[in-house]
Structures are given as C-alpha cells and as structure tokens.
Structure 1
Amino acid sequence: MAQFINPFSDWGFKHIFGREISKDLLICFLNDLFAGEFVIKSLAFGNKEQIGLSKDSREVIFDIYCTTDEGKEIIVEMQNRGQEHFIDRALYYTSRVIVNQGIKGEWDYDIRPVYTICFMNFIDPLLPFGKFRTDMILADRDNGKMVSDKIRMVYLMLPFFEKTETECETDFERWIFVLKNMNTFERMPFLAKNAVFKKLAEISDLRTLSKKDMDKYEDSIRIMRDAYATYKYAIKTGLEDGRKQGLEEGMAQGIEKGKAEAEHLKNIEFAKLMLSDGDSTEKIQRYTGLTAEEINEIAQSLH
C-alpha cells in the first residue's frame, strides 16, 4: 500500500507544488534547479488560464504558473505520455506568457524573463538521448554565447535519471529521486539532509488527506491509469492490424490511435470532475474540446 501521493498524477502534482500552503516546496525545488544562478526568496501564483489577445486566440492552461520576487515568470508542466510536437508546445506556452506582457500605448519591449520547466515521464526523440536535463536558451549558433536571458526551457526526462538514493549528491538530485519514486516509498528518504523533505512527507502523506481530497486524488490516479491502459491497448491492436499492412505502418497507426483515444478519455474524466465542481458547459468545452452534446451525455451519466 502506497503511503505517499503519486506526484505525477495531475491532482497530486498540483497538491504538492501548486498551493499556497506548500509554496515553500516549489521555492526550494526551483532554487535547487537553478542553484548557483539566482535565488528565489518568494513567489506569487498567477492565473493558470492564459487568454489570447483576440477572441479567436486559443486559451492555454498551465499546471503551475508563478512570478518570483525578481519578476521572473515560471511555468511548470508535468507530462506523463509523449506527444507529437511536445517541444513546440513548450515553446508556444513560453511565448504566450511573453506576448501577454505587452501593454497598450508606449512600451520599450523590456520583457520579464520567462522560464518553462517540463517534467517528462517519457523519452522525446528530439532531445539528446541519454541526457536527463536539457536547458534551451537563446544563443549564438557558432559560439554558444547566450544573447538573451528572457526565454529558457528546461526539459527533465525522468527515464534517464537512474541514480540510487545513496548516489544522489545534491539537493536537486535528491528532489528528482524522491519525485520519481515517491509513490513506492514506505518512508521518505533524506529527512536528515534537508528539512524540506520532512515538509514534503507531511504534505504528500495519503493518510492526512480529507475524504474529499482523497476522492479527487483517486479520480486523478484512475484517469492516469485508464489513459495509459488505453494507450497500450491501442498500440497493441494497431500492431496486430499492422501485420496485414506492414509492421512499421501498424506501429505508427497504433501509437497515433493510442494518443488520440487516451487524450479523449482524459478529457471525458476531466469533464466529470469539472461537472462535479459545478462548472458551466461552455467552460468545460474550452478546457476539454468536447462538444456540448458529449458534455450533456456525461452529465446525465453522473445522475
């Protein structure tokens, strides 16, 4: 029986890092991530819904969005499954925050730095294979010298982090080890190394959750598991169908089918949660991409 929250469920991730009561955990993690570069003393959570500049613009919803005491804007995203154009999506998210800094009237384009941190529970073929952390900046192609500190994207590919508990040397490595393995722990490691891990243990202890929070957590876990099962099944059936058309084509079809079906299933479960919170059909449509008819059918199934 797991004792701690799975931090890579949608609800669990936000419970640990996205609340006022646990803000110091996020500050500690970010300071360890950027150790030696700058120190965050405080931060303020911002609106995770980034509305476009025109009515036709696509709305963007972040997992976590905050601003530091020095004005740096930081996006933290968690992604469990690979998807096409994931790197481009992170660039789009980062760019959207920059664009939204623009003001009407006179302005000298003195933008604030925007950093995006992506936790990835998968391997993206566009990033360096075997490398756990990749930092992308604006730099000269020939000499590698940074030309602007206003945009930065940090990709953390968890499958490539293979250190054991005893091999972790820095607090950042300890963070990654804990987050990657936390839902399997019977005890929280590193309690004697840094007090932040004691706070993390308290925040993420399943036994301390209220019934309402436990229900939300279990719903989030079910969504994650169902999406994974659908993804794997679709790949399997695609491969079986592909034997008639060629293995390579079947694999491609299976992967694409799995991604689409898993995403649709996730949107349905997300709609159920939003309906239970009393959100309007229009808002659920914006968040999930489901039609009004689909949302009405989901609502009827809940009664």
Structure 2
Amino acid sequence: MRYTEERYISLLTDFGFKRIFGTNPNKDLLIDFLNSLFDGEQVVKNVTFLNSEHVGDVRTDSKAIFDVYCENEKGEKFIVEMQNASQKYFKDRSLYYATFPIREQAKKGEVWNYELKHVYVVALLNYDMTDSAFAQDTINHDIGLLDKQTHKVFNDKLTFKYVEIAKFKKSIEELKTNYDKWIYVLQNLSHLDRQPRYLRTEVFSRLFNQAEIARFSKTELREYEDSLKAYRDMKNSLDNAEEKGIAKGLAKGRAEGKKDKAVEIAKKLLEMDMPIDAIMKATGLSQEEITKL
C-alpha cells in the first residue's frame, strides 16, 4: 500500500528532514538554511556531520538521539531538531541535549582549561509553543545565558533557537527573505507539484531535485512511506485529541452556563421566599446547592 501520491517528500517527517538536512551530499542545503536562520549573527562556511546518538552516564544509561548533529569549520556544535508535537518538558530536553556537545569537548588525558566552543540548539517547532517568555511578534526566539538585572550576555557559548514554524502564515507571494523561503518550504514542500518561480534559486533547485520521490530507490521509498505513515498517525492522534478536548470544553461550557442560569433563578426565587422544594423543581439544583446560596 502506498501512503503518498505527492511529488515531493515532506520535510516534517523524520526521513524527509534527515535526508535533506542530515546527509553529506546535501550539506550545502543545511548550511544555507542555518545561515538564513542566523541572519549574519553566525556565518557557516562548512559542516561536518557527527554521530547523532549519544549515551548518558553509566547510572542512567539514558540516550539522546539528535535529528542532525554537526560542527562548523570553527568546531562549533549544532544540534538541529524537528519537533512535531508538544512535549511537557521539551525545554528541559533541549537543555539536556545541549549537555552532550558541551561535555564531549573535555580534553581526555591532558590538562584542560575548560574553554568551550559555542553550542547551538536549533528546535523547529511544528506546533504553537506559546511560552510566556517568548516575544509574541516573532516566531524565531533566541535564548541565551543573560544577567537577569542588566540583560547583558553572561556567557555566549550556549544558544537556543526555537522556531515556531506552525505560526508562519505568509503566502508564497509574500516571501521576501531566504529565511521566509526556508520556513515556507519546511511547511509546504509536500503540497507542491512543481518548483515555484519564487523559489528558483540554485539552492532550492537542489532541494527540489533531492526531494523528488520519483528519484528514490525502492528501499528509500519504503523508508519514506514508513516515516510518512508514522507522521500521519501521530498527527491524526493529536487532531483527534484536540477535537475531543474542544468538544469536551464546549459541553462543559454549556453545562456551566446552564448552572449559572439556574443559580441566578434560584437566588431570585429565594428572595421571593419560595419553598426550597419548589426551587429545586424549578432549577434542577440540589437542596445543598440552594441552601449555600
């Protein structure tokens, strides 16, 4: 059974994201994306992919498996993650992930002065994170270590980039910057049937070429369809849970509205010295609820 009839892969799937951003033949695509995201704050000229699976300490034997893990020509580390669903402790997970590229910089068997290379954690969020610390007028949130009083950078060796791609609402005609184009592609690549003229650059031509499903081997196609099915199953589960939550909320709201109206009526009837039995019949409230009024 085939799960897709689209021309291009979805970058929201595990397979699609890692194929485009996590393989040596396509590292120019990752470099271009990172440079668009950092917008001059950081200029990446080259990347080397590193082992994306890390084992924690012996006591817990916990693991961290990154979507994409690499370093640039200066030895600075980048973790790039696609997160499709809200997770209660996602910020904690991001912080935990950052400890691995920090700890692995320790020099083995020699005196080390603790100087660190910069570590960047880039989290692409395919949902509304709605964190109270985030500015509401942007989807790109830059988190670092600051002095709380002066708001000056205390240490610039650790940076978190949270990008709420689900909140990106620009149409293809409104795309101005390279960053806009990348976020649009992250959201919409699998919905396109051709490369739009707004995306006709050398980098995006490479992207569309690499993302064309017809070019996949049988093995790649099977892996992608497995990944796509897992993504769709996850999204369907989330959508169903959201719909049930909304329906439950509406039902609760209607019930609370009726209760409020009944209480209002009961108060008026009490003022008229109507017997409690009669008020119970008129409002549906219990004797205890009425006597509390």
TM range, smaller chain: 0.7 to 0.9
Contact 1:135 1:154 in 2 (8 A): yes
Residues 47, 65 of structure 1: CA spacing in aligned structure 2 closer, same or farther, 3 A cutoff?
A: same
Q: Identify which of 24, 27, 30 aligns with 2:28.
A: 24
Query: Structure 2, unaligned stretches of length 5 or more?
Result: 254-293
Q: CA RMSD in A?
A: 2.2
Paired with 1:243 and 1:8, the residues of 2 have a C-alpha distance of 31
1:83 correspondence with 2:87: yes
Q: Which residue of 2 aligns with 1:50?
A: 54
- CA distance 1:6–1:192, change in 2 (3 Å): closer
Aligned: 1:136 with 2:143: yes
Does the Cα contact within 8 Å between 1:165 and 1:177 map onto a contact in 2? yes
Q: Could you tell me the percent identity over the aligned residues?
A: 35
2:173·2:198 contact (CA, 8 Å) conserved in 1?
no
| Structure 1 residue 39: Cα displacement | 1.9
Q: Which has the higher relative contact order, 1 or 2, with Cα contacts under 8 A spaced 6 or more apart?
A: 2
Per-residue deviation, 1:232: 3.4
Q: Return 5+ residue gaps in structure 1 as ranges.
A: 248-303
Among 167, 173, 186, the residue aligned to 1:166: 173
Query: What's the counterpart of residue 65 of structure 1?
Result: 69
Which of the pair has more CA radius of gyration?
2
Paired residue secondary structure (1:101): coil
CA distance in 2, matches of 1:192, 1:50: 36
Is the CA contact 1:190–1:197 (under 8 Å) kept in the aligned structure 2?
no
- TM-score between the two structures when normalised by the length of structure 1: 0.75
User: Does the aligned pair in 1 maintain the 2:11–2:189 contact within 8 Å?
Assistant: yes
Instruction: State how 1:56-205 maps to structure 2 within 5 Å.
Output: 56-104=60-108, 105-126=110-131, 127-129=134-136, 131-190=138-197, 194-205=201-212
Structure-1 residue corresponding to 2:238: 231
2:15 corresponds in structure 1 to: 11
Distance change >3 Å, CA 189–CA 145, structure 1 → 2? farther
User: Contact 1:191/1:198 (CA < 8 Å) preserved in 2?
Assistant: no
The aligned length equals 246
Q: In 2 relative to 1, CA 85–192 (structure 1 residues): closer, same or farther, beyond 3 Å?
A: closer
* TM-score, normalization by structure 2: 0.77
> In structure 1, what is the Cα distance between the partners aligned to 2:250 and 2:210?
49
